[in-house]
Amino acid sequence: MSLSVLLTALELGLITSLVTMSLFLSYRMLNVCDLSTDGVFTLGASVGGMIALSGHPLLSLCSALFSGALSGGILSVLQCYLGIDSLLAGIIVNTALYSVNIFVMGNASVLNMNKTVTLFTLFRQLLAGTVLEPFSKVLLAVLFALLIALTLSLFLKTRLGLAIRATGNNPIMVASSSINPKRMTIIALCLSNALTALAGCLLAQMQKSTNIDIGSGILTIALASLLIGRTLYHGNRIPMGIASGILGAIIFRIIYAIALRFHMPAFMLKFISSLIVTLSIALPYLKKKYHLLEKPYAENPTYQ
pLDDT at position 254: 87
pLDDT at position 293: 55
- Yes or no: say if 210 and 104 are a contact pair by the CB < 8 Å rule: no
H/E segment holding residue 110: strand 110-112
pLDDT at position 303: 36
pLDDT at position 292: 60
- Which tens digits make up the pLDDT trace of 216-241? 889 988 988 888 888 888 778 899 99
33 phi and psi, to 5 degrees? -90, 110
Query: Confidence band (pLDDT; 50, 70, 90) for 297?
Result: very low
Q: In terms of pLDDT, which residue wins out, 280 or 61?
A: 61
Question: CB 157: neighbour CB atoms within 10 A?
Answer: 13
pLDDT at position 178: 81
Q: In terms of pLDDT, which residue wins out, 283 or 146?
A: 146
pLDDT at position 190: 95
Lowest mean pLDDT among 17-21, 108-112, 158-162, 255-259: 255-259
Q: How far is CA 234 from the centre of its chain?
A: 20
Query: Confidence band (pLDDT; 50, 70, 90) for 304?
Result: very low
Q: Mean pLDDT score of the chain, rounded to an integer?
A: 87
CA distance 111 to 99: 15
Buried b / exposed e across 81-113, counting CB within 10 Å, b at 16+? Answer: eeebebeebbebbbeebbebbeebbeeeeebeb
- Of the chain, the percentage scoring pLDDT greater than 70 comes to 95
pLDDT at position 236: 81
Q: Is the pTM of this model over 0.85?
A: yes
pLDDT at position 294: 56
- Which tens digits make up the pLDDT trace of 127-179? 988 888 888 999 999 999 999 999 999 999 999 999 999 998 888 888 888 88
Domain coordinates in residue numbering, the chain: 3-303
- Which tens digits make up the pLDDT trace of 263-281? 777 677 778 778 877 877 7
> Of 222, 215, 18, which Cα lies nearest the Cα of 101?
215
pLDDT of residue 199 exceeding 70:
yes
Taking the CA atoms of residue 115, residue 117, residue 122 and residue 125 in that order, the dihedral angle to the nearest 10 degrees is 30
Second-level CATH architecture of 3-303: Orthogonal Bundle (1.10)
